[in-house]
Amino acid sequence: MGPVDSNDRGQAVPLAAAMVAVVTIALVGLVPAAQALADRARARTAADAAALAGAVDGEHAARVLARDNGAELVDFERTGDEVVVGVRLGDVEARARARVTRRHATSPGPEGGGGRAGLAPAMLAALARADGLLGHPVHVVSGLRTRAEQQDLWDRRHTNPYPVAPPGTSDHERGLAVDVPRDAAGALAAIGPLAGLCQPLPETDPVHFVVCAS
């Protein structure tokens, strides 16, 4: 390539500036679209949580869960055991439905009570999202525990292969933690963040999952 004379330099600068301008405009154009996608995802999460809370504890609980997820409850309808809610987050609206399943809690085993009975609405919402992502229900080995059940586990902690929290400090006692089968922990951990489930002790207690930021 030969030397660039003064006229060539004069033409090169505007071309470079034009290319930068095009890229900048394209990037700026992506910001609203990305925000809209994020708002829709947050609205769906808020609607799921509100529907599950409403099915279990009524309209007030649905309103609180919607607010906790940054949204406003704008519609609440109950028909028998089924609840349909609508929420608004900014300019985005989302609807969700949930049904109360009449069931008895499973009998407590060595790891505490199993099943989903009594779990907090936030955990039920996270499990419902995980069910959808996995394509099958998450099997809960241990869910909600009473203080007495946690005390029993604490008293026998030397026989437990996993760490045990002292009574009064476990998320299980608030319905915000579940234990799953060991062979299911890896798959759940892989999609957990998308569902709102975190694995706080992946090395020492891989079967233990909590509601993120609980």
> For residue 205, what are the domain limits?
121-211
Contact 72, 85 (CB under 8 A): no
Mark whether 138 and 87 lie in a shared domain: no
Mark whether 126 and 207 lie in a shared domain: yes
Domain presence at residue 68: yes
Domain presence at residue 116: no
Domain presence at residue 27: yes
Mark whether 27 and 93 lie in a shared domain: yes
Question: 91-108 pLDDT, tens per residue?
Answer: 889 998 877 644 333 333
Mark whether 133 and 83 lie in a shared domain: no
Contacts of 50 (CB under 8 A, 6+ apart): 62, 63, 65, 66, 69, 71, 73, 85, 87, 96
Mark whether 15 and 84 lie in a shared domain: yes
Question: In this predicted structure, what is the pLDDT of residue 68?
Answer: 84
How many Å apart are CA 145 and CA 151, to the nearest integer? 10
Contacts of 138 (CB under 8 A, 6+ apart): 127, 130, 131, 178, 180, 184, 188
Beta-ladder partners of 95: 86
Q: Smallest Cα–Cα separation from 130: which of 52, 67, 58?
A: 52
For the chain, which ranges sit under pLDDT 50?
2-31, 101-113
Residue 87 parent element (H or E)? strand 82-89
Estimate the crossing angle of helix 121-134 against helix 6-57, to 10 degrees. 120
State the pTM of this model.
Answer: 0.52
Domain presence at residue 177: yes
CATH number at residue 16: 3.30.1300
Question: 21-38 pLDDT, tens per residue?
Answer: 444 344 444 446 667 777
Mark whether 22 and 72 lie in a shared domain: yes
